[in-house]
Amino acid sequence: MKKKLYGTICLCGLVLIVLCACGKNTNSEVNVTPIPDGLESEYERNSPEIEKLREKYPEYFALGTFKGLEVYVWQMAEDDYRFGLMQGTNRMKTLEEMMALKGATSEEMALILSTFDIEDRDIFVIPWQNPISGYMVTDDMVKDPEYIGNIRIMLGLDLDEEQPPKQEEADAMYDRIPVVRVNGKLYYDTGRESTISGRCGNMDGEITSTVDETEIPTKDNQSNFGSGFGYQYGADDTIEIYMNETWFVFECREESE
């Protein structure tokens, strides 16, 4: 994907350097050394801004593009969008993988994407309700084509008249809610972070097994987002699970089983 405006600025800079190197010419014609094909793209990929991003988000620059790229987006507030990047696969990503994503701004992600030699139609935008955010994005919002379209515009991506099939699959990611079974009950992620302070240091239990993220756990202490997480019982038939140094609230929804 190419950022035309950014590339044009870089190209103009290169031409200016070449002109200065040639010095003043009293003739009406100016001899300019041709810029080799691909040099504009090479300059863009090695610009100071890109190098800073390589240091800040090194994991986002070491991705394969054979099956496209997946841009995960979540909101921290109404106008505060954050972005993570993973290479495309034939499976849904786990909660652990998504929780490990660093939140880049739209400007940063647009520059990161500009370094990949990939068609815009092979870059898929996937909305995600990040548990660390108290700002709730509804189903109606993410299923509205305008929502995805606005995000693609933020990232400088082309808009297709028809949504690619894989984008439809990507939208299904939002429908998946992390769930765990404890004492015969199913507890679903609420998207809320616990506000309890002065908590006891002892765990009431631990998630010891996991199933595929598209499945419902069938055994106690089993989840569809990973294992090894400790939990404590909360108020009003909730449990609070400790992940990535944060406590997240899960509520019982037996009727959804």
Query: Considering the entire predicted model, what is its pTM?
Result: 0.54
Helix axis angle, 106-114 to 48-56, nearest 10°: 110
How big is the chain by its Cα radius of gyration, in Å? 24
pLDDT, residue 170, reads 53
Best CA proximity match to 230, nearest among 250, 211, 256: 250
| 118-125: average pLDDT | 90
Do residues 68 and 122 lie in contact, with contact meaning Cβ atoms separated by under 8 Å? yes
| SS3 state of residue 38 | coil
How confident is the model over 222-253, as pLDDT tens digits? 998 888 999 999 988 999 999 877 888 999 97
Residue 201 Cα distances to 163, 194, 197, 198, 242, angstroms: 49, 15, 11, 9, 11
Do residues 224 and 217 lie in contact, with contact meaning Cβ atoms separated by under 8 Å? yes
With vertex at residue 255, the alpha carbon angle to CA 249 and CA 257, rounded to the nearest 5 degrees, is 85
Residue 237 Cα distances to 106, 186, 209, 251, angstroms: 38, 11, 22, 6
Q: What phi and psi, each to the nearest 5 degrees, are found at residue 158?
A: -65, 155
Quickly state the pLDDT bin for 108 (edges 50, 70, 90). very high
In the chain, alpha helices (H): 4-22, 39-45, 48-56, 95-99, 106-114, 139-143, 145-154, 165-171
pLDDT, residue 182, reads 96
Confidence check: pLDDT of 151 > 90: yes
